[in-house]
Amino acid sequence: MSSKPGRVACWSLSVPDIEEVCHRYNQPWEFDPDHRESLFPLSNPCNPSYDLVPPYVNPMFFALLASTVVFTVIAVVQRVRREKT
């Protein structure tokens, strides 16, 4: 499997900025310090009325995060119980 060495470099240099992405969705980009991107909850607004992150993403993200924590705790508890016997 061969790939061109410049391919990844080209992709990394052509990442569009927020203004370009907003214009693709026919939304004006407005800088508003009250509505800026955040990781918790996930948000990347073009303007106060339009967010690039769909509304279903945050509940799904936090549900998957919670289930990961629960299953990790279950796995650790089972391993500790197995080592005790």
Residue 32 CA to residue 77 CA, distance in Å, equals 46
Say which amino acid occupies 5. P
Output the pTM of the full model.
0.63
CB 47 within 8 A of CB 34: no
Gyration radius of the chain over CA positions = 21
**Which residue is it, tokens 């790939």?**
3
Q: Using CA atoms in the order 5, 11, 12, 17, what is the torsion angle rounded to 10 degrees? A: 170
pLDDT tens-digit readout, 5-21: 666 666 566 778 889 99
- Give which of 32, 29, 12 is closest to 21, Cα–Cα: 29
- Greatest extent of the chain over all pairs of C-alpha atoms, in Å: 63
Per-residue pLDDT tens over the stretch 42-75: 899 999 899 999 999 999 999 999 999 999 999 9
pLDDT value at residue 16: 80
